[in-house]
Amino acid sequence: MQRTMAIAAALALIGAGAARADDPAAARAPDKSGFAVFNPTPEADLRSLCTDRPTKSTSPCTVDAGHWQVESDVYNVTTQTEAGVTTVTQLFTNPTLKLGVTNTIDVEANIVPVEEVSVHDVATGATQRATGAGDLFLRAKFNLIGDDGGAVGLAIEPYVKVPTAGRVLGNGAVEEGVLIPIQLSLPANWQLVIDPEFDALANAVGAGRHLNASSLLSLSYPATKEVTLSVEVWGDANFDPSGTVEQGSFDLGAAWIPASSPSFQLDGGVNLGLNRATPGLQAYVGVSRRF
């Protein structure tokens, strides 16, 4: 985890040093600073569809002013087996609704309407299930660089979690954090996303909060004009007073944006756990649509 975050920081510094304020691509971008919620960006000036899926990465791009965007799992399943106990978590849709407030700011809301957690104990043969809505996540993304082109993209995205899930599915605590998505354009049309994240989470036992830190390196490549493939390595360290838990995964994703529908995306992916603390397998298929 520490190694991943160090690499991410080094690459971010290299990319920032390579970026120039007089980037020709940025100079050619139209002036869209006057567009807002009640003065939407015209269709002709919309950016290419940019989403925070598939994979775990978050892009620094925002939704164009005055436009809505929905990004959602259609179905998501996670399995983890530890000490003879298998836990299966299923998400039946997982929508994130985004609204472009200005040309470089959007607001977002995410909640799982139906989540089912099934815990099976091999030794006893007993299975316990819990079903209900998940927690509500409210976010705001502030793009600082590269929303309309350029070699580097950078944003800040604070969030707060509202405890709407039941006690079995959630911990009943308000929690918050911040992401700092960084995107670098690499040679041969490759894109690199680095996502350092810092969270203030409730302690598992007793009162108080602790730090959770994560980061990832995500590479994407346009295999065709319509299909983009992604590969990433993700790491997370939860510094709970009861004991630090480290997780890691190797993630693969693919996204299809048909030429006939440039505001629509279909995607899917798999996440493979790299240690025992991480779920062994997560698979999903999802859809995004801009309005």
Cα dihedral sign for 9, 10, 15, 17? Answer: positive
Kindly state the tokens that stand for 274: 């790299």
Number of compact structural domains in the chain: 1
pLDDT > 60? residue 168:
yes
Burial class (CB in 10 A: 0-12, 13-18, 19+), 283: middle
Q: Is the pTM of this model over 0.85?
A: yes
pLDDT tens by residue, 111-161: 999 999 999 998 888 999 999 999 999 999 999 999 998 999 999 999 999
* Beta strand spans in 41-126 (E): 68-82, 85-91, 96-100, 105-110, 115-121
Q: Would 27 be classed as within a structural domain?
A: no
β-strands 182-185, 136-145 pairing: unpaired
Q: Would 92 be classed as within a structural domain?
A: yes
Q: Would 179 be classed as within a structural domain?
A: yes
CATH code: domain of residue 221: 2.40.160.40
Q: Would 25 be classed as within a structural domain?
A: no
Q: In whole angstroms, what is the distance from residue 187 CA to residue 184 CA?
A: 10
pLDDT > 70? residue 12:
no
CB atoms within 10 A of CB 82: 11
Q: Would 255 be classed as within a structural domain?
A: yes
Q: Would 133 be classed as within a structural domain?
A: yes
**Domain membership of residue 155 as a residue range:** 2-18+34-42+49-290
Q: 20 Cβ partners below 8 Å, 6+ apart?
A: none
pLDDT tens by residue, 254-275: 999 999 999 999 999 999 999 9
CA angle 196, 147, 142 (to 5 degrees): 55
